[in-house]
Amino acid sequence: MDLINDDHMKMYFYESRLLTFAGWPFEEDCVCTPENMAKAGFVHTPSDNSPDIAQCFFCLKELEGWEPEDDPEKEHKLHSPNCNFITLKKSVESLTVEEILRLQKERQKFVIKKTCNQAIAAFEESVKLKRGQIIQTAMDEE
């Protein structure tokens, strides 16, 4: 595996994150400019209904409903205080290979947790639908 060319590895770098903010609704006279969003670890992940969704590339926390005065770094720390990226004490460029690999291990924990939570939510929704079908079948037989 070529770690440097993996898309998620590119997101460790500010310039790569900044490129995702095309069409970001807050450009000037705001605290949550694309530059500040990218510095705080966010990438722009808009949807048709929500043009201001941003997700931390590292902890995968998604935030939307941004206001011009929202400080991206403060919001990131508030909503995801355990994100290892936002708590880094030095620049990505000065990290050692060992530190990058340690960070990647921590990032994988966030990925696994999110994937498991999505699977659990899908399973619970499926169970809810099946339960409704069973109840409906039982009522129809009465």
Inform me whether the pLDDT recorded for 4 exceeds 50: no
Inform me whether the pLDDT recorded for 54 exceeds 90: yes
Domains and CATH numbers, the chain: 3-141 (1.10.1170.10)
**Which residue do the tokens 């079908």 mark?**
133
Q: Where does the pLDDT of residue 2 fall: very low under 50, low under 70, confident under 90, or very high at 90 and above?
A: very low
pLDDT over 70 for what percent of the chain? Answer: 96
Q: How many CB atoms lie within 10 A of CB 17?
A: 24
DSSP state of 57: T
pTM above 0.75, yes or no: yes
